Amino acid sequence: MTAPNSESQAPDDHEGVHADVATVAPASADVAGRVFVFFTNASSGNQDTEVFLEKIATAMQGHEHYIVCVYPQDSHEQKQKEAVSLVKKHDAILVVAGGDGTISAMANHAIAQQFPMAIIPFGTFNMFARDHGLSLDTDTALRDLLTGRIQAVQTGEIGGVHFIVNATLGLYSQLLADREQWKNQFGRRRGIAIFAAFSTIMKYGRSYILQFNKGEGRQLVKTVSFMACNNNLQAQQAGVQYDEKMGDGYLYGIVLKPSSRKRMLLLALKLIFKRLDQDRQIISFPFESLDIDKKKGGRNIEVAMDGEVHTLQAPFTVKANKDLLKILMPASVAQQPSQE
C-alpha cells in the first residue's frame, strides 16, 4: 500500500523514495493496519524539512500515511485542525514531530478527541520525550513507530487545559517573560538576566492562595509564584526535593512564599538559574489536585503551560490525570499492556 498524498503537505516525489533496508520489523498489534498522520512544523528543530519528509517516506513504505506540514505562511491553528480531521477520518495515530510546546498543543486535541499519539522529538530540550525514554534520534524514533505499544501517560490540567511538562503562574512566569524581552533587546548574557529579574521584582506585587488536601484537612498557602511540574527530569534539575509519588497520579508543586524584595530577588535568581535549594521560602510537595484563588475568584490569571500563555479566570483547579493521553511508546519502553 502506498502512502496517499492528496491531503498531505508532502511533495509528490517523496512517495517514491526507497531506502536500502535489509529487514523491516513487523508491526505490533497496536499499530497493525493503522494509518499514521504526521504533523510537523517546518520551522521547528534543526532538521531539514525535506530530508525529514524523505525519512518518513522511507520508514512508512507499505503503510498508509498522511503528512501535514506547517510552513511559515500557514496558520498553525488551521493545520492542527487539518491533522485532527485526517486522524478522525482514518482512525489514525497522530505522529507529532516537534518540541514540547507543539506536543502539548496536539495532546490537548488527542485528549479531547480520544485518539492516540506518537512523538518524534524535534525540540530544544525535549523534556517530555526524555522523561518517557523516547529516542531523540529521528531514524530510531521513526522505526519505533511500527513496533510500539499504546499506553496511557500522565498529564496535568488547569482549568480544562492540559499540559505535559509544567505550568507556572505568578512571579516565575513574569520573570521568564521579562527576561526574554530584555534578552531580545540587549542580548543573551547572564548579567542581562540578573537585571531583568531585578526589574521584575521591583514592580511585581500579585499573590495567590493555594488550597489543597493535607492529612484530614485542607491547607492554605499564600504564594507569589507557583509551578506545577509533571516531569521528573525537570524537578530533579531544578534542585527541589524529589518525591517518588510524582508521576503516579501526582504532580509536583513548587511554591515561592512572599518575602522582602531583597529576599525575593535572591530567590528569583535561584529560580532562573535552577538552583532551588531547600530554602525556607520555597515549598515543594507532591499533590493530586489543588485549588487556586478559590475564595477570591473573579480575576483573570495568566498561566504559562509548556511555553504557551493562557488567560484563565479564577478560581480554577490544578490536577493530575493518569490515563487521558494515550502515547505510542517504543516496545523497549512500554511496560503495560495496550490501553487502546
Same fold, 12-157+324-329 and 166-305: no
Give which of 154, 323, 310, 127 is closest to 235, Cα–Cα: 127
Query: Which grid cell is 245?
Result: 509519588
Fold of 166-305: Tumour Suppressor Smad4 (2.60.200)
Return d(Cα 20, Cα 306) in angstroms, integer.
39
Least confident of 107-111, 139-143, 229-233, 278-282: 278-282
Confidence at residue 149, expressed as pLDDT on a 0 to 100 scale: 96
Average pLDDT over the chain, rounded to an integer: 80
Task: Output b/e per residue, 52-76; b: 16+ Cβ within 10 A.
Answer: bbbbbbbbbbebbbbbbbbeeebee
- The SS3 assignment for 201 reads helix
Q: Where are the alpha helices (DSSP H) in the chain?
A: 49-59, 76-90, 100-113, 127-131, 138-144, 171-186, 190-203, 232-238, 261-272
Top-confidence residue, 309 or 53: 53
pLDDT-derived band at 285 (thresholds 50, 70, 90) equals confident
Most confident of 17-26, 178-187, 207-216, 314-323: 314-323
Domain 12-157+324-329 has CATH 3.40.50.10330: yes
Average pLDDT over residues 18-30: 57
Confidence at residue 27, expressed as pLDDT on a 0 to 100 scale: 76
Least confident of 11-20, 187-196, 311-320: 11-20
pLDDT-derived band at 17 (thresholds 50, 70, 90) equals very low
Average pLDDT over residues 30-39: 94
Confidence at residue 269, expressed as pLDDT on a 0 to 100 scale: 63
Confidence at residue 12, expressed as pLDDT on a 0 to 100 scale: 41
Torsion of Cα atoms, 181 then 184 then 185 then 186, to 10°: 110
Give which of 308, 330, 4 is closest to 161, Cα–Cα: 308
Domain residue spans in the chain? 12-157+324-329, 166-305
Q: Does the pLDDT at position 160 exceed 60?
A: yes
Q: Residues in the chain, how many?
A: 340
